[in-house]
Amino acid sequence: MEKINEVIIDYKGSIFKTLKREDGRFYCPICGAGENAPIFFTESDLIRHICNHDQIKKALAKKKKE
pLDDT in tens, 23-57: 999 999 999 988 899 999 999 999 999 999 888 88
pLDDT score of 44: 94
Domain edges within the chain: 4-65
Contact predicate 20/7, CB 8 Å: yes
pTM attached to this predicted model: 0.79
pLDDT digits (tens, 9 = 90+) for 13-24: 999 999 999 999
The H-assigned helical ranges of 1-66 are 43-65
